[in-house]
Structures are given as C-alpha cells and as structure tokens.
Structure 1
Amino acid sequence: MAQYRHVTYNPVSPKPIDWTHEREWRWPLRNAPALDPNDLPPDIDNLPGLELDGPILNGIGAVVKTATQAERLICDILTQVDRGDVNEHRYEFVLALDSIASMADIRDREALEDAIDAGRIDLAPYFAISKDRAEELSEQFRQLVKSVEEKAGPPESGEIGGCWLWITDNEHEMTPALLRYNFARVTKEGNYIVELYEYSDLRSLAQREEMTLKLAERLEGEHGVHATYFSVLASDDPNGVPLYNGDELDNRKYYNFSDDADDY
C-alpha cells in the first residue's frame, strides 16, 4: 500500500526548515525479482511493475500534450477496460493541454478551472450505453450479418480457418453493444473481433473473408462503424498465427501506441 515518506520539518527552530513542497506519496514495488537489466522479460504480462489495483486508484485523470494523443489514449483505456484489465471507474477523464487557452490569457484560478473543465474529456459516457440501445444495435448487426450470408451465393471450397469481423473503432456505440451481448470480444493483442455465427460453416476461409469485407463496408455506410476482417489459417483461435487482415486496415482508426509512448 502507499507509504508516506517524511522529510525534515521544523518551522519553530531558530533556523526554520520547511521542505513541505518535497513531501510526496510513493507507491513501492513489492516482491520484485532480481532481474538482469540487460535481459528481456520472458512474458510482458509478468513484467515487474507498480501494482495499480484496488479502489483507491479509481477516478484517475490523464494529461497529455495534444488532442491526437488524447484520442489515442482513450482508445487504449477503453481496450484495457473491455479486455478486463481494469474496471470502468479506474479512469475518469483525459485532458489535452493544447485544448486549454494560453496560460498568459488566464488571469485567475477560477478562469483556469473553467478552462480545464472545458477541455477535459469525460470517459463516463463511453460506458453509459443503455440495455435497450445495446439490444437494438445488436439485433441490427445480427440482421446485417444474416443479409450478407443470404446474398453470398453457394459455399465455395478452399482453405479452412477462423474469420471474424475486426472492429477498429472501439469508441463507437456499436462496440460496447456487441460486447454486452457476447457477439464481440477483445483478444490478447487488443483486437475487437466479432463472431459471425450466421455464416455457413461450409464456406472457405477466402469466401468468408470476402463476405466480411462486404459486411464491413455496409457497417460503415449504415452505422459509421470502421471495421475489416481478421482471420487465422487452419485455426479457430484468434490468438493463433499466421494472422491475416484486410488491406482496408491502413485507412481505419487503429493505433500503434509504441511510436509516441514517451509523449504521455
């Protein structure tokens, strides 16, 4: 648990010492194994680090430099919540500093608080989809998949494997709706994949990939949902290899956080 580290403080001595500005809360790393700093960890999920579990850390706010970074961070936070890594109350808001007016134009504390409130992005609405709305969207999705299956023609033979719809926009309300009714799930890599139960099991992998691209086009046209396909050759495990995905992914809303992680 958190420990308070004291510093010297004696305001009534002949020569007062006041280092209260250096007082801070520290969260120590417990039971850290002895690791050679030159060795890579065998499993990134087991990399020693600070334990940030527990209700004491709920309501965290994150501050980043730009609106683009804020959008990427929100995407990452939603993935952590949807994958079950953290609860939905862990993060409360994200604030991009470039959304705040110049500090020189802010003359008093009240104006500063107003500017911060105006620029902060509240995360609660992302988790506030109602049961009725989720049910409505899930049924619309199911009917859409059924329509694609009915129009696909006879089954074609070929390679076998798993094929899923890959939603690359986890901020759209369709995503939590499909998660709520177990149509969708999040893989270890953070990919939002949707089971397509309406597809015939007799269809080849290539045919189902083509059908899923058509499904993605209709989802974007009718609901504004960005998606493509995700498939694994000769396996029904979405965490398997080799992996395949549609070429359209390059134009989708999908982020790689490693490139500018130092900016957070």
Structure 2
Amino acid sequence: MSRHDITDWIIHFVHKRNSENDPLEFSRDWEETMDYIEFPDNFKFDGEPMFQTDIHAEEAYGLESDAGAMGVLKKILHDGIIKSGWSYRNGNPTIYGPKSAVCFTEMPLYALIEYSKDRNNDNYIEPYGIAFLKNELFEAGARPVIYGLSGIHREAIKGDKHFGIGLRTLSSDCGIGLKEMYRYVYTSIKTHKRIDWTHEREWRWADLEEKFEFAGLPFYADNDEFKFSKIIVLVKTNEDVQDIIEHIQHLYHSKSTNYGTEYNLTTIANTYILSIEELSKFDKDPDTIKLDDLPLNAIPKLSKIKVKQETIEKVKNAIKVASEISYAECERVFNEKGDVGGCGWAYVVTYVTNSEITQALIDLELASSYGTGYYYIDLGKSFPAQSLEVDEPGKIKAAEYLTKELGQYFTTHWKWD
C-alpha cells in the first residue's frame, strides 16, 4: 500500500544509559557488595526465573554507567544482540508477563526526527538506532504492541494463576495469555490521567520459544533461526558515520566476540550507516522523508580494501624483521637480568582499522582480534622466558620498528599470567 505514513523499515532507537532504569545498577546492594546481584532476564512459563546475562562479558566491554547513546550503540553492534529488557520507567517494569522484550517503532523517519526534537529528553529518544526491514523483523517474531484492553486493566494478585510469572503480570481474566502479554501497553485515553503512547506505533520482540541462551534479538550474532539481509544504522553526525564504519570494519575482521559469539559477516557487510546530518544532501522534503525514499547505494557502508601485492610483500618482510628485533632484545634483557619479575605476556598491537596495512595483516593471518578495538600482531617465534620484564622490551622495539617501516602506528598491550 502506497501511503505516506507507512514505511517498510522498523527502528530500534538507542538512548543514553540511565542507571536509574538499569536493573544491573539499581539492584546492586552497594553497602553489602561491589558485585552485581543476579537479576532475571526472563521467566519460563511456569514462573521459573531465567538468568541469561553474562556479567563478565558485560563488564569486559567497559561501557560506562552514564554512557551516551553513541557508546551504547557501539556496544550493541559489538555484542551483535539487542538485549531484551523490562523497560523500566521510574524504577518500575513496564513489560508484562514472563518474557522481556526488545522495543521498536514503526514511525517513519521524518516523524521520529520531529518527535525527538519535541521530547527534548535524551533519556528517551536520540537520533541513534538500528533499522530493520519490517517483513524480516516480522519473520523473526516481532509484532505490533496491543494498546489497552477491551475491559479493565487489572494486575494479577496472589491466588491468580498468572501471579508471580514475571515481574509484573496481568490478571488471568483480562483476556491476554502469557505468550502475548509482552505486547501489552497500558493505555488510558478517556480518563483525566491520560496515558497514551499510541503515537509511538511500537513493535516488540520476545524470545517466546526460548531458542536463545542469551536475552535478546540476534542480528549480527550468527544463529540458525533467522537472518537479516540488510540493516541501516542511524547516527547523528557525519563524524559518527566514520566512527561506526571503523567499528563495524573491526567487527568484520574479528569474526566473533572475545566471548565466542560468531558474527554473521554478510549482515555486517550489508550494513548502511546514515547520518541525520547528511539527509539534506538527498533531494527530499525533510518534513516527509522516509528511509524508503533513500537510495541505499548513496548511503555509506563497508568498502573492501584492496591490497597490492607489493604491500603484501612489504608487510611479510617487516614482520619477519620485527620478530628478529623482538627476539634479540628479549635475549639481551634476559642475559642482563635473568627471568625475573612477574609472569606475563606482551603483544604488539595496532588500533588502525581501515588501512591497506591492516588488511594485509588480516589476509596474511598475521593479525587477529575479537571485537576489542585493536589487532594482535603475530610475530612468530617468541623468546622462551616467562617474565613480562623480559618479553615487553622486545615487543616495544618491534612496535617501534613496524611503525617506522610500515607508516602505521603500532604499540604494545600486556597482561599478567
């Protein structure tokens, strides 16, 4: 149907991290422990809580508790999963039933841009998000929400068969079963205390069949249930576009997270990054523009870096020399000090993503990463010592040589054994 207010794209918008509405933050008992308290990500349909969040993986990424929308977006892309949640507002869950949900909107792009300006509250809407084709998201299980009930809103109390199956559950006589309850949005239009979110044209997704071990919708994370042929990442500025391109290029090179989640490289390669700042270049009315109106071939995406054979040979030779330099320096330090100090390893790394040198290292299988933001460089042989004090000086010398020889910045990263 060719209606102006209908779009083929559905958007998950990203907002800044708000610890007041993050159960991992407000459920922590700061007086008793610095550790996180386990919090149920979902419930089984018999009411048994499901703890699916890997706290170590969450902590390992290093997202600040007050991270802005851009930082949150980059973590979502890194994880390859849009985490489902209970949509806390003022400390109270707004998702009903046993299943947490991922929220989307069917509002066209022009409406969302205007809405974000009107709300003027970056805890809710900012021009950062991920857009999916509606038909593909529907096939993955997402559905429009249900605004209000035909009867009276009543929540389950003790004695009701729905009581305790989730953080907040509708009474069994309301007419919505446990499997559809995640879609319900409390709505009160006629009363003096108006609660009306219908303008958001919301969709939600929940793992109703309990197919995933994690809590969330996989889009980059490879899985056997569904794939997304293409996505559009929305950012605020042209500078953000370059940042995201480098970020997802790094994910593409990594092939998986450091916790073993493999990426769907086809979806990453078919990711388009659209800057709201750049919309003016399209010959479209900003008051009516939709994602459907934009030619995808005019929106930036990953481009394959072509590596010349002479670059391949130059990199191979440089790594060989760097390996010899590293070994010789480690041997010198060992002969001078012995195998002293704590045990550990040092690595030569580079943070440069979109370069011919890095691509050559990837092609030669001399560089590897796991979505960490940098590439580990394989120098080949290492000096046989356990001491970090012996290993690190050699890697520093190798990094200095590679920086000078290849014209790209290399440095070191180390860790204790």
Indicate whether the TM-score tops 0.5.
yes
Q: In the alignment, does 2:57 pair up with 1:57?
A: no
Q: In the alignment, does 2:376 pair up with 1:193?
A: yes
Q: In the alignment, does 2:275 pair up with 1:67?
A: no
Correspondence for 2:332 among 141, 154, 179:
154
Deviation at 1:146, TM superposition (A): 3.3
Q: In the alignment, does 2:390 pair up with 1:211?
A: no
* Structure 2 counterpart SS, 1:90: helix
Give distance in 1, aligned partners of 2:201 and 2:279: 28
Deviation at 1:73, TM superposition (A): 1.9
Deviation at 1:106, TM superposition (A): 5.3
In structure 2, list runs of 5 or more residues that go unmatched: 1-138, 146-198, 257-261
* Structure 2 counterpart SS, 1:162: strand
Amino acid paired to 1:67 = N
| Residue 68 to residue 144, structure 1, CA distance change in 2 (3 Å) | farther
Correspondence for 2:255 among 54, 75, 83:
83
Deviation at 1:186, TM superposition (A): 1.7
| Residue 178 to residue 79, structure 1, CA distance change in 2 (3 Å) | same
| Residue 184 to residue 5, structure 1, CA distance change in 2 (3 Å) | closer
Q: In the alignment, does 2:198 pair up with 1:48?
A: no
Residues 155-192 of structure 1 deviation map (CA, whole Å, 9 limit, x = unaligned):
42223322211221222233333233332222474542
1:42 corresponds in structure 2 to none
Does the 8 A contact of 2:250 with 2:371 survive in 1?
A: no
* Structure 2 counterpart SS, 1:182: coil
Residues 95-143 of structure 1 deviation map (CA, whole Å, 9 limit, x = unaligned):
223344367x75699xx857x855x3230324x557x467435413323
Give distance in 1, aligned partners of 2:264 and 2:327: 39
1:174 corresponds in structure 2 to 357
Does the 8 A contact of 1:184 with 1:193 survive in 2?
A: yes
TM-align CA RMSD:
4.1
Give distance in 2, aligned partners of 1:186 and 1:204: 24
Does the 8 A contact of 1:29 with 1:49 survive in 2?
A: yes
Residues 40-82 of structure 1 deviation map (CA, whole Å, 9 limit, x = unaligned):
xxxxx95400132467413323221113322332233223322
Deviation at 1:199, TM superposition (A): 3.7
2:112 corresponds in structure 1 to none
Does the 8 A contact of 2:345 with 2:388 survive in 1?
A: yes
* Structure 1 counterpart SS, 2:348: strand
Q: In the alignment, does 2:314 pair up with 1:142?
A: no
Give distance in 1, aligned partners of 2:403 and 2:234: 31
Give distance in 1, aligned partners of 2:141 and 2:209: 16
**TM-score, structure 2 normalization:** 0.40
1:101 corresponds in structure 2 to 280
* Structure 1 counterpart SS, 2:300: strand
**TM-score, structure 1 normalization:** 0.58
Give distance in 1, aligned partners of 2:310 and 2:255: 21
2:89 corresponds in structure 1 to none
Does the 8 A contact of 2:345 with 2:392 survive in 1?
A: no
Q: In the alignment, does 2:140 pair up with 1:2?
A: yes
Give distance in 2, aligned partners of 1:62 and 1:191: 22
| Residue 98 to residue 136, structure 1, CA distance change in 2 (3 Å) | farther
Give distance in 2, aligned partners of 1:142 and 1:49: 41
Give distance in 2, aligned partners of 1:162 and 1:4: 46
Does the 8 A contact of 1:186 with 1:193 survive in 2?
A: yes
Q: Among all aligned residue pairs of Structure 1 and Structure 2, give the percentage whose two residues are the same amino acid.
A: 22
User: Which is richer in helix?
Assistant: 1
Does the 8 A contact of 1:165 with 1:193 survive in 2?
A: yes
| Residue 57 to residue 229, structure 1, CA distance change in 2 (3 Å) | same
In structure 1, list runs of 5 or more residues that go unmatched: 8-20, 34-44, 236-264
Give distance in 2, aligned partners of 1:107 and 1:228: 48
2:26 corresponds in structure 1 to none
Give distance in 2, aligned partners of 1:25 and 1:137: 52
| Residue 161 to residue 6, structure 1, CA distance change in 2 (3 Å) | closer
| Residue 3 to residue 163, structure 1, CA distance change in 2 (3 Å) | closer
1:223 corresponds in structure 2 to 406
Correspondence for 1:124 among 300, 303, 323:
303
Structure with bigger gyration radius: 2
Give distance in 1, aligned partners of 2:231 and 2:352: 23
Give distance in 2, aligned partners of 1:62 and 1:4: 19
* Structure 1 counterpart SS, 2:332: coil
* Structure 1 counterpart SS, 2:349: strand
